[in-house]
Structure 1
Amino acid sequence: MMSLRLTRGILKNNAIRSYSRAPCEIIEILESGFETLSQSKSKSLLKKHLTREILDKIKTKVTPSYCSTLLDCIQSGLCNHDSGVGIYAPDPEAYSTFSELFDPIIEDYHKGFKKADKHPATCFGYGSDFPNLDPEERFIVSTRVRCGRSLKDFPFNPCLTKKDYRHLECMITKVLKTLCNDHAGKYLPLSCMEPEQQQKLIDEHLLFKEGDRFLQDANASRFWPTGRGIFINKNRTFLVWVNEEDHIRVISMEKGGDLGRVYERMIIGVESLAHSLKFSHDKRLGYLTFCPSNLGTTIRASVHIKLPNLGADRAKLEELANKYNLQVRGTAGEHSEAKGGVYDISNKRRLGLTEYQVVLEMHKGISALIDAECQAGSQK
């Protein structure tokens, strides 16, 4: 059996995909990683659901078209025991090839979406269905709604070649140039961006950045910055990220708590792209994404919200948020702290509901948190 240090060293070499390794080496790494994860204090869904029985059943499988192995799926979770999920799909076929592991993780994360369940057809509804959550602007700093899309007939990041990245970028930006009115804007490729401009956009929470260890260890940062970039409209309220975690991330955002207006802008944007681009979609799982947490609608509706009273007891805040299927993160997102009592709170469920139901669930949950924050403040 390999030593822990050697195993982690091999896993961390994210320039190498597993198909370049001998099958016996892949199995040896999987076995060593499994033993280490089993003995760890990890609370990841990977540790919870990767049993010896499942490992033995799927450790020699590969996806038909892209030759992805189980190691390609779980190497990030084996390297990072503090992962929440710990598994990614290197290509669309991984969800079926390694279904013995993906299905229970999906069911756990998406609150009971079972193997026999089927994701409903797309139904966005209308932004006008959702009134402003904070018209007096006492709590909500900003609102953001995003969705992810992957292009049909392409694998996900770990399997993309440099040529694939460039081809995807060309296809996507060609369509972005056709957007008009409020959505019209400019595409900025990372490969041509000055470091100062890049940092400024990152500081303004508009642009993604390299260096996420969870994505790097999943081989999702290969050939950086080739094929990556950001599209920004004139008002900086509509963004499209190209080839970050998914092929496309459509983002609508603005200051304040007008969720309906933000959501409507996102709907128009993603529907406009859908007229010219074919997205990867599964009859059971909905829109397919790199991370199983984003399957289905792929929608994440979030607010930056000031909750000084509820936030004084993080455990109680988490408990209340869980009641409404909301996820609590720090100001800068996952694995960050809440600065100045400002939390990033979003819907947790994206699969098994329509887009309309996802946003409605989030709207009701944020409303309840604001009510609880007011009550907590009045009791002081």
Structure 2
Amino acid sequence: MSMFEIHGGFTGLAASSRVRLARNIKGYPFRLTEQQHSEIADKVFAALKENPTIGPEFDKKQIIPRSTEASQLVEEHLISPELAQNGGWLIVSKDGGVSIMVGEEDHLRLQVIGTGLCPKECLETANRVASLIEAALPFAYDERLGYLTACPTNIGTGLRASIMLHLPMLTATEQMDRIIGYAGSRGCAVRGTYGEGSQAVGGFYQVSNQVTLGASAAELTDKLVETATTIIDAEKKAREQVRSQNEPALRDRIYRAAGTLRSAYLIDTNEAVQCISNVLIGLQMGFLSGMDAQKLYALEEHIRPAMLTGAPQDRDKKRAEILREATKPIQFN
């Protein structure tokens, strides 16, 4: 197991968890020059390297604006679309579990990703890495306000914790407006696959904290977990409701999706993600077996356009090959 691998429960319904801490280095202006970005990246990297346990786990790379590599790192959720567009630096663990963006809205965006429902464990790791950096490079902090950030909406804890939920049946039964309202009443937001401003594809949504001030990071994370658990329960009920209304139609939809993944010669991203979503439902509801739901979800990230090379049809062919091979073990129950 890699050093920063974190695994949680509800695999498949809660596909992944992420914690991001916004931090700024004391003594530097909020708006930095490219030279200052490079300087901070060097200092942060050096601070991590001084730790004999975790130092060897990290690499540093420059993000070239609008490059193919930058697009791929966005698809892997290691950098933001803004950093890919504008460039900067990335300090990342070899297993991809911890990444630190330098040159985004704040000096540092420290991110920890885990599989399943595990934002608490992600926060523990993020705090540990942040403490190592802060020992060498004190952060901008106010006794009354907390951590100072470029955007007022992040001030206080600087925390943005999120859980990627798979909610296809709440989407199909048109209950998402109610879910978004419920999350809002809990101080949380529901967004698309890539966060703010993005669309939900295949029923995948990010649920994240909106409030960063007035409570500790641990308290905010606890509230997020409670909110996500309630939404997961609602999705389970929606699935059972759809099953009870017309199980043959649901089974047919799932079987057709599995058949497409196992046999398609060409498949575009949207169709692939929709089929993966339906197969995930089948695996979780017992209509299908033979494949781990988490592996299928991880595969969804690696079939997106930026992860494959060539002309559109070449990508569609390669995507189909990957999916045919991966879904061979699926069995119809």
Question: What's the TM-score bracket when you normalise by the shorter of the two chains?
Answer: 0.5 to 0.7
Q: Which amino acid aligns with 1:198?
A: A
Query: What corresponds to 2:160 in structure 1?
Result: 300
Q: Structure 1, residues 345-369: CA drift from partner, whole Å, max 9, x if none?
A: 1111110101211111111111111
- Whose strand proportion is higher, 1 or 2? 2
Q: Structure 1, residues 107-128: CA drift from partner, whole Å, max 9, x if none?
A: xxxxxxxxxxxxxxxxxxxxxx
Distance 1:211 1:244, change over 3 A: closer
Return the alpha-carbon distance in structure 2 between the equivalents of residues 318 and 333 of structure 1: 14
Counterpart of 2:184 (choices 311, 322, 332) is 322
Q: Which amino acid aligns with 1:145?
A: V
TM norm structure 2: 0.64
What secondary structure does 2:136 align onto? coil
Query: What corresponds to 1:257 in structure 2?
Result: 117
Counterpart of 2:134 (choices 270, 274, 279) is 274
Length, aligned pairs only: 233
What secondary structure does 1:302 align onto? strand
Greater displacement, 310-319 / 271-280: 310-319
CA contact (8 A) 1:307 1:343 kept: yes
Q: Structure 1, residues 192-243: CA drift from partner, whole Å, max 9, x if none?
A: x99333332222221234489xxxxxxxx8xx53xx2111112110111112
Distance 1:138 1:190, change over 3 A: closer
Q: Which amino acid aligns with 1:352?
A: G
CA contact (8 A) 2:17 2:122 kept: yes
Greater displacement, 137-146 / 196-205: 196-205
Q: How far did residue 179 of structure 1 move?
A: 4.3
Distance 1:365 1:194, change over 3 A: closer
Return the alpha-carbon distance in structure 1 between the equivalents of residues 69 and 52 of structure 2: 25
- Give yes or no for the alignment of 1:285 onto 2:158: no
CA contact (8 A) 1:132 1:260 kept: no
Query: What corresponds to 2:234 in structure 1?
Result: 372
Q: Which amino acid aligns with 2:59?
A: K
Query: What corresponds to 1:148 in structure 2?
Result: 22
TM norm structure 1: 0.57
* Pairwise CA RMSD: 2.4
Counterpart of 1:231 (choices 91, 94, 101) is 91
What secondary structure does 1:239 align onto? strand
Greater displacement, 303-312 / 267-276: 303-312
Return the alpha-carbon distance in structure 2 between the equivalents of residues 209 and 349 of structure 1: 22
- Give yes or no for the alignment of 1:190 onto 2:63: yes
Return the alpha-carbon distance in structure 2 between the equivalents of residues 270 and 252 of structure 1: 11
What secondary structure does 1:340 align onto? coil
CA contact (8 A) 1:245 1:290 kept: yes
Distance 1:368 1:171, change over 3 A: same
Q: How far did residue 308 of structure 1 move?
A: 1.7
CA contact (8 A) 1:152 1:278 kept: yes
CA contact (8 A) 2:61 2:91 kept: yes
Q: How far did residue 292 of structure 1 move?
A: 1.1
Unaligned residue ranges in structure 2 (runs of 5+): 1-6, 243-333
- Whose helix proportion is higher, 1 or 2? 2
Q: What is the percentage of aligned positions where both structures have the same residue? A: 29
Q: How far did residue 372 of structure 1 move?
A: 1.8
Distance 1:174 1:269, change over 3 A: same
- Give yes or no for the alignment of 1:138 onto 2:12: yes
Unaligned residue ranges in structure 1 (runs of 5+): 1-130, 213-220
Return the alpha-carbon distance in structure 2 between the equivalents of residues 292 and 332 of structure 1: 22
Return the alpha-carbon distance in structure 2 between the equivalents of residues 368 and 194 of structure 1: 39
Counterpart of 2:220 (choices 322, 347, 358) is 358
Return the alpha-carbon distance in structure 2 between the equivalents of residues 153 and 143 of structure 1: 32
What secondary structure does 1:321 align onto? helix
Distance 1:200 1:266, change over 3 A: same
1:113-262 equivalences under 5 Å are: 132-134=8-10, 137-157=11-31, 160-181=32-53, 184-191=57-64, 195-210=67-82, 224-225=86-87, 228-262=88-122
Return the alpha-carbon distance in structure 1 between the equivalents of residues 89 and 238 of structure 2: 43
CA contact (8 A) 1:297 1:354 kept: yes
CA contact (8 A) 1:310 1:316 kept: no
Moved over 4 A (4+): none
Q: Structure 1, residues 150-190: CA drift from partner, whole Å, max 9, x if none?
A: 01121212xx3344333323322322333454562101122
What secondary structure does 2:77 align onto? coil
